[in-house]
Structure 1
């Protein structure tokens, strides 16, 4: 390819991730001449590391309630038009073996590479060009659409789709480029923050709980803010704070300075035997708590938060605390460890049915760059497929 060549197509998609490739496929099916440009050396880099290398490619229960957005209704249109069953049909078409892990989470039996290969095969079938290792330096609006100055020369198209992702995992090449383009064209941005991210203890809590690194527990977890979901998942103690699916889920709703609340013994009444019996002492309580928690967590919890006494009132108060353990994190592990970025291009700027910017015809934003963030468990991939398909149906 001549780096000085002026290349004209119908649609330029910036970003060869899940959303970008899906958009390219759908646009290509309509006979549009499509090119996908990505600064990475290969397509689908985040797909390849997802789900422990097996890609949690969708969730069969995906609905708008599983997403965080300043406009909680925005995702409904795209999710209704391209469903988990639609993507599953594509999986089955390509003979990819899969399984449901839990709670509707679908994974490849073998490798996430199969998902990337599926997308690239579908792109090739509709003559989509995927050009990696190409940086974009500048985007300009012209009378016919958009002109991009890139490391491989100038490209022109009537439609430009921004699928550049968020700020999460910068070592994988994440940048703020998508937000910069939105601002260039006057679009509002909802403040971004790390989501699905481990949380960090305060110095006091680190002293109390830091020795529990590697210990896990089945808990109910939620951010303490009003009207936030409660998640039944595993909690994991780390050398710096808290992680595991329970914490990642709650972190997306957590705000600095607020608490995260945990029920450490869901469904259990740990003090019931003490209140009903005659023996009330630390050893008896420890034995009862060991029925719900690991011995290490039991010992640490009782040392840090023993009952105030052995009366019924004191034991009941201690029991309530066990089911509402509050932690006020010092912060999160940030974008380096965040699975996704919350916030992004304000949905009020976009058409819910096509993802096109209302005030900039021909400009589209899809996937993680938009202020729609899924919960853990395949929901963010489903948003990528759905938003990509929505834009591809129009771009």
Structure 2
């Protein structure tokens, strides 16, 4: 292409899960691939995910577990590269893994082997990787693109944007991918933090703070979605899988509904308890079902809301009061102050609108040679390995075509 240029078939920007997957798949096809990453190391988000053990896939990964303005977009890639395909790669590299919850696969000890596996595959496929390299400008150039990077000028026929979303900026997240999308006339749908803990108003924070560290299974509901998962009380608010899942459906001003009794028929159980143990209080009854500190606090709040003393025995509660208490416990409503935001959000809701893309290979239909994969697109999975599976599947779909 001329002196001063580095010439490649494909440049992949972003050495995260999707980018490394795409790069080595394309490399094995004989394509000359350059993988560019602005951070000092590849796969930083992989390393911290799943408590450092990386929930690398979910065997139940299917389109129903994903959100976006175009929810069918992920179907093609997900069908052609399944969780079992990625599991085969993991096992081929001898990485020990465990199934912590049904379908949720984690590394047995550390996420490092996943990153090492992907880097090894890139090396075997002949991919060149530039770390600590920024992309300062991208320009269309005839049948390809020209990039000005901190290591010089680069030209390529195919350009893949795998820069992720806005979650956890301390790991290098930025809006670079959205800038590129807008540069080429693509719409970027509103973004917000997802899979993120909730913060509480001062009133509720003071009530929950003494309960920090308590975890219990609940049913959490928000805007028509329902999740049966553990809830964790923290010093900042409410977390745990139930709250992270609900956050994907929550908007500022919305209320959360929590069933603290995890779906049991509380009304029937309380009515029976009034006969069998009439001298017990609500707090005593709840202590058989929940951590004691949480049980006593919920009993106090429920009784306050209904207008009775927390010391009142079950025998002294009318049918109407028992039903009202049941509602307080099983349909507990709370309006969060907000979320912890991008600092702790696991993923980004929203992103580059997929309407402009081919679902087969994540190519921009009106800009030949331009691809977007992974979290930068408006595809967001539920908690539990689904987002990694989208990264692997979209990376493969693109790598097989670009």
TM range (shorter): over 0.9
What is aligned with 2:106?
107
What is aligned with 2:357?
350
1:270 CA drift (Å): 4.3
SS in structure 1 opposite 2:281?
A: helix
The reply to whether residue 388 of structure 1 matches residue 384 of structure 2 is no
Call closer, same or farther: CA 1:120–1:273 in 2, change over 3 Å. closer
User: Any unmatched runs of 5+ in structure 2?
Assistant: 309-316
Deviations 1:268-289 (A, max 9, x none): 3445465343588784321211
The reply to whether residue 138 of structure 1 matches residue 137 of structure 2 is yes
SS in structure 2 opposite 1:342?
A: strand
**Separation of aligned partners in 2, 1:51 and 1:234:** 15
**Separation of aligned partners in 1, 2:96 and 2:277:** 55
Contact in 2 for aligned 1:220/1:231 (Cα 8 Å): yes
**Separation of aligned partners in 2, 1:302 and 1:74:** 46
- Regions of 4+ moved over 6 Å: 279-282
**Separation of aligned partners in 2, 1:358 and 1:175:** 25
**Separation of aligned partners in 1, 2:4 and 2:109:** 41
Q: 1:262 aligns with which of 246, 258, 265?
A: 258
Normalising by structure 2, what TM-score? Answer: 0.94
Call closer, same or farther: CA 1:284–1:394 in 2, change over 3 Å. same
Deviations 1:83-128 (A, max 9, x none): 0010001011111111111021001112211001111111111101
**Separation of aligned partners in 1, 2:344 and 2:29:** 38
SS in structure 2 opposite 1:74?
A: coil
**Separation of aligned partners in 1, 2:279 and 2:12:** 63
Contact in 1 for aligned 2:37/2:131 (Cα 8 Å): yes
The reply to whether residue 373 of structure 1 matches residue 373 of structure 2 is no
SS in structure 1 opposite 2:229?
A: strand
1:317 CA drift (Å): 2.0
Call closer, same or farther: CA 1:61–1:7 in 2, change over 3 Å. same
Call closer, same or farther: CA 1:183–1:282 in 2, change over 3 Å. farther
Q: How large is the RMSD of aligned CA atoms in angstroms?
A: 1.6
**Separation of aligned partners in 1, 2:334 and 2:284:** 25
Deviations 1:323-347 (A, max 9, x none): 1111111111000010111100001
Q: How many residues align?
A: 389
Normalising by structure 1, what TM-score? Answer: 0.95
Q: 1:315 aligns with which of 313, 317, 322?
A: 322
Q: 1:303 aligns with which of 300, 304, 307?
A: 300
**Separation of aligned partners in 1, 2:270 and 2:334:** 27
Q: 1:290 aligns with which of 287, 291, 295?
A: 287
**Separation of aligned partners in 2, 1:208 and 1:109:** 37
Deviations 1:366-392 (A, max 9, x none): 001000011111001000000101111
Call closer, same or farther: CA 1:41–1:311 in 2, change over 3 Å. same
